[in-house]
Structure 1
Amino acid sequence: MGYDPNDRLLIINADDYGMCHSMNAAAEELLLAGAISSATLMVPCAWAKEGAAFAKKYPQVDIGVHLTFTSEWDHYKWGPVTRLTDVNSLITDEGFFPEDCLSFELQAEPEQVKIEIQKQIEQAIAWGVDPTHLDVHMGSLYGLATGRDYLEVVLEACEHYKLPLRLPRGLTALEELPPELQQMAAARIALADHKGIMIIDDLLTHPFHYTPGETFDEMKQGMIQMLKGLRAGITEIFIHPGYATEELKAIQPDAPKRDMEARLFLDDEIRNTIKSENIRMITWRDLRDHQRRMNV
């Protein structure tokens, strides 16, 4: 891509775009301010169409598809986009996606996963989104709970739609993964390389859940240390920004942290750290376009 091997390239992504209006509004402010690189749309969720309308209005903004196969909140649920084809292995008795990755991996059939992946991408495109990349909500397709992964199916979709994927090479070095999962990750990364699919080197975030008493300054200082510790290569930092409205508070108990994340990359100290550390901000569109040029 023309960068030096020692350059630290950074993508900042807002996950869970489309989940609710509060999260849409926060991600959109950050995107328009140029504070983050991209957002990924949860197509099965109730507010996804609003997010897609924004993507259509601002085609210069990077919007990917957040492939969604879990529905984790107690009183706010979603299920498959697929309507006319059997995808019963993807749902609970109530008709929603399972609430955790373990349950999903134990029951989901690969062919039905493949159908739903295609439907989610096609729905986004039909709404006017020009997807820049794919990633996975809660990591449900990575096989990290049981070793039963669906990445071959995901990589087929990446190849078909000519999209890069949030698949970090660093998975193969995670000490907390058992050797068999490290081997699986290495095989899937090799497959991505063989297919010419752009992936990343490292994937970082901070703890998702809100701890009572946690402050914005604590979060900011943690992010500054994370930024200073970036390694050479392509890193994605993902966050879940949202405004702590009554809507978001009703959905999840972590609304205060979502609100802090909505302000994090607008903070001058964060921006100055990125600049002083000579971190180069890039986008998923950069990776997508390079992938398409290389695979003509």
Structure 2
Amino acid sequence: MTRQLIINADDYGMCRAANTGITSLLRAGAISSATVMTPCPWAPDAIATAARHGWDVGVHLTLTSEWNGYRWSPLTGGASLRDAAGYFPHESKTVEEQADPEEIRAEIKAQIDRAVALGLDPSHADNHMGSLYGLATGRDFLTEALGVCAEYGLPFRLPRTLDGMGLPPELEPFAEAAAARADAAGVVILDRLWTLPFHKREGETYESFKADMIALIRALKPGVTEIYVHPFEDTDELRHIMPDYEKRAMELRVFTDPEVQQALADEEIALIGWRDLRDVQRSR
């Protein structure tokens, strides 16, 4: 088997800094795909741009709203999906504890339907902050997510193995069970899902981050792996929204860096998109 890689940019449509950063990478062909947060205010701009260029963009299923001064709400009226102020909860744990599965299903469908209504032909679906996976309490919403993806003919971000994710090995049976559920639903998933830490670590520089990304690329194994990032432009807007703006700017630079591009070439990594997996799913 060849080593196939999807490079996905999460959070398209979250804010203008997300759109300008991710659009620049899609335009340059430096990433394979992106996923758009349809409850967020800049989603129409992201989708209009993606549709105009025919880019590989999916739906970043959103059930949380993590920032204090910049928030978004459910598209549906589901009371179990809202906090006291009417927004999505800040944390995935709250979603797992209080969300009603049928309201989750309705919200997932509404978010995909909004993307389609805005002109997107979605390539896949994935999940903002892992709120559907049951990582915090063990209560997941994979039945609802996989059911909707099967209905719409969309692959879903779910790895067959936790290999390379830095998670305890005792969780591996949960990954295997989740993969079996996806197979039973006829939904195509990944072999592996990798990334680097979201937050800027003490002493981390762009050069050290780039070295870590090159090491990640060189460690890729046969099969389909997704590396996901959050590449935003460093702007006043972004600095007002989140404290980790420096890491977002690093992620924006790294896949257009000649050394990273050379590593991909040296390792003979085959870059693919989520549309390739969608084609496989829809041909079955």
Q: Smaller-chain TM-score range?
A: over 0.9
Q: For structure 1, which runs of at least 5 residues remain unmatched after alignment?
A: none
1:223 aligns with 2:188: no
Aligned-pair CA distance for 1:19: 0.5
Aligned-pair CA distance for 1:58: 1.1
- For the residue of structure 1 that corresponds to 2:140, the secondary structure is coil
1:22 aligns with 2:17: yes
Query: What percentage of residue pairs aligned between the two structures are identical?
Result: 50
Aligned to 1:13: 8
1:74 aligns with 2:68: yes
For residues 105-144 of structure 1, the C-alpha deviation after alignment (integer angstroms, 9 at most, x for no partner) is 1000100000000000000000000000000001110001
Q: Across the two proteins, how many residue pairs are aligned to each other? A: 284
- 2:79 pairs, out of 57, 69, 88, with 88
Aligned to 1:192: 182
Aligned to 1:39: 34
- For the residue of structure 1 that corresponds to 2:238, the secondary structure is helix
- For the residue of structure 2 that corresponds to 1:171, the secondary structure is coil
Aligned to 1:162: 153
Aligned-pair CA distance for 1:186: 2.4
1:132 aligns with 2:123: yes
Give distance in 2, aligned partners of 1:184 and 1:64.
Answer: 25
Aligned-pair CA distance for 1:187: 2.5
Give distance in 2, aligned partners of 1:23 and 1:268.
Answer: 22
- 1:272 pairs, out of 247, 255, 262, with 262
Aligned-pair CA distance for 1:198: 1.0
- The amino acid of 1:117's aligned partner reads I
- The amino acid of 1:255's aligned partner reads Y
CA RMSD of aligned residues (A): 1.6
Give distance in 2, aligned partners of 1:262 and 1:190.
Answer: 35
- 1:254 pairs, out of 230, 244, 247, with 244
- The amino acid of 1:140's aligned partner reads S
8 Å CA contact 1:172–1:183 kept in 2: the answer is no
Give distance in 2, aligned partners of 1:39 and 1:109.
Answer: 28
Give distance in 1, aligned partners of 2:183 and 2:141.
Answer: 17
User: Structure 2 vs 1, CA of residues 104 and 24 (structure 1 numbering), >3 Å: closer, same or farther?
Assistant: same
- The amino acid of 1:32's aligned partner reads R
- For the residue of structure 2 that corresponds to 1:285, the secondary structure is helix
What TM-score do you get using the length of structure 1 for normalisation? 0.92
1:117 aligns with 2:115: no
- The amino acid of 2:30's aligned partner reads A
Aligned to 1:103: 94
User: Structure 2 vs 1, CA of residues 174 and 15 (structure 1 numbering), >3 Å: closer, same or farther?
Assistant: closer
- For the residue of structure 1 that corresponds to 2:108, the secondary structure is helix
Give distance in 1, aligned partners of 2:164 and 2:249.
Answer: 33
Aligned-pair CA distance for 1:243: 0.8
Aligned to 2:133: 142
What TM-score do you get using the length of structure 2 for normalisation? 0.96
8 Å CA contact 2:159–2:175 kept in 1: the answer is no
Give distance in 2, aligned partners of 1:276 and 1:16.
Answer: 30
Give distance in 2, aligned partners of 1:108 and 1:182.
Answer: 25
User: Structure 2 vs 1, CA of residues 175 and 57 (structure 1 numbering), >3 Å: closer, same or farther?
Assistant: closer
8 Å CA contact 1:164–1:287 kept in 2: the answer is yes
Aligned-pair CA distance for 1:280: 0.6
Give distance in 1, aligned partners of 2:43 and 2:136.
Answer: 27
User: Structure 2 vs 1, CA of residues 290 and 176 (structure 1 numbering), >3 Å: closer, same or farther?
Assistant: closer
Aligned-pair CA distance for 1:189: 1.0
Give distance in 1, aligned partners of 2:139 and 2:163.
Answer: 16
Give distance in 1, aligned partners of 2:29 and 2:51.
Answer: 17
